[in-house]
Amino acid sequence: MVGADRPLRVALIGTGFMGRMHAHAWRTAHRFFDLPVTPELTLLVGRDPERTAAAADTFGFAESTGDWRQAIERDDIDVVDICTPGDTHAEIALAALAAGKHVLCEKPLANDVAEADLMVAAAERAGAEGVVSMCGFSYRRTPALALARRLIEDGRIGQVRHVRAQYLQDWLSDPDAPFTWRLDKDRAGSGTLGDIGAHSIDTAQWLTGDAIVGVSAMMRTFVETRPVLDQQVGLGGRAQADAPRQAVTVDDAAAFTARFAGGAMGVFEATRLATGHRNSNRIEINGDRGSIAFDFRAMNELDFYDASDPVGEQGFRRIQANEPEHPYADAWWPAGHGLGYEHLFTHQIVDLVRAIAGGPPVSPSFADAARVQRVLAAVERSAAQDSLYVTVEGENP
């Protein structure tokens, strides 16, 4: 049992962009938030032992290994944090949960619904023994979005009628941008849809407290082959013109309309080819009494419209979500000093650690994440059937 008398010992699996972000969060959380137990960076796992050892030194981990099974087998590991490609999530999470380890797994939860269901069942069995599991939909920890959820829960925008969500990137807009594992369906599950569209789906369902029950979709792969490099280059890099090319087996862009159980209409778009948009994550929700609107490019701001205002004073007003009463904000800087992308992951670790120590249950659970997985699957089925309306599996339209 984890307690104040000893640290919470963490094994992080994955040393790429997301592994680096999680490592920073584990190092930071207890330095700004009052936590019941202190995380300890015990073991870093990566594919290449030499590079992983160097990363462990940089990230602040005590040890490193090239075999993720060591994280499962060791008795001195309490938490397994999975930041690997989607095709490995299920295997690692199932092993960790069976061994009684708490699990944080990056999104999307799995590569398909069948894997997700296995993970949910394992999490429920382990949960009965006090083991905590959570999926890493980090945007939920944006103070402005958490404030938006509070406003919607309090009825400030009334009955939700419209949900409008876009997630726009452009790092693959160049047809000679190199091939990565994210473009291989066997490893990634899907492309833009699962990578960034999943965030919009989760955010929409979380903010509204309502489930998507049906979709009508289209998906496109605009660039069907990409050059392959001997060495990985960063997002937005460019390969040599004579490099061999490999087939892209995932989507570059996805768009769909959605029906919510409560009757609201949704319009969703996700793409990696929207030139000029580095990372534009937007959502607007309209109700019969008001609206909220958010764009991550201004992540410390929430636009709120109250239809009960006098007619001559109506209009969206901008809330700076960095006052001490705003979610998570009281642990950081004085009002007006904004937060950044990295803070969302710190907030995620704070909520996870508190849950492990007996605090409020974590969200999103594996079951929450599996509901997102079902929407992803419905979008793919609809697109394969030329935008035919498809019911989300397990939901009642």
Average pLDDT over residues 43-72: 97
Q: Which pLDDT score, from 0 to 100, does residue 91 have?
A: 98
Measured CA to CA, the distance from residue 85 to residue 181 in angstroms comes to: 8
**DSSP label at 196?**
I
Residue 122 has pLDDT above 60, yes or no: yes
Q: In the structure, what pLDDT confidence band is assigned to residue 239 with cuts at 50, 70 and 90?
A: low
**DSSP label at 362?**
P
Beta-carbon neighbour count of residue 183 at 10 Å? 24
Residue 93 has pLDDT above 80, yes or no: yes
Nearest to 169 by CA among 187, 185, 193: 193
Q: Which pLDDT score, from 0 to 100, does residue 388 have?
A: 84
Average pLDDT over residues 54-81: 98
Angle at 267 between CA 266 and CA 270, to 5 degrees: 130
pLDDT of 244-253, one tens digit each?
Answer: 999 999 999 9
Global confidence as pTM: 0.95
Average pLDDT over residues 99-121: 98
Average pLDDT over residues 351-356: 98
122 Cβ neighbours under 8 A, 6+ residues apart:
93, 94, 97, 98
Q: Which pLDDT score, from 0 to 100, does residue 189 have?
A: 96
Nearest to 4 by CA among 41, 37, 40: 37
265: its two tokens = 């209409």
Measured CA to CA, the distance from residue 266 to residue 133 in angstroms comes to: 29
Residues of the chain above pLDDT 70, percent: 95
Measured CA to CA, the distance from residue 139 to residue 207 in angstroms comes to: 11
Measured CA to CA, the distance from residue 292 to residue 287 in angstroms comes to: 9
Q: In the structure, what pLDDT confidence band is assigned to residue 304 with cuts at 50, 70 and 90?
A: very high
Q: What is the pLDDT of the chain when averaged over all its residues?
A: 95
What are the residue boundaries of the structural domains of the chain, listed by start? 8-139, 141-335+371-391
CATH number of 8-139: 3.40.50.720
Average pLDDT over residues 310-330: 96
- At the second CATH level, the architecture of 141-335+371-391 is 2-Layer Sandwich (3.30)
373: its two tokens = 């997985």
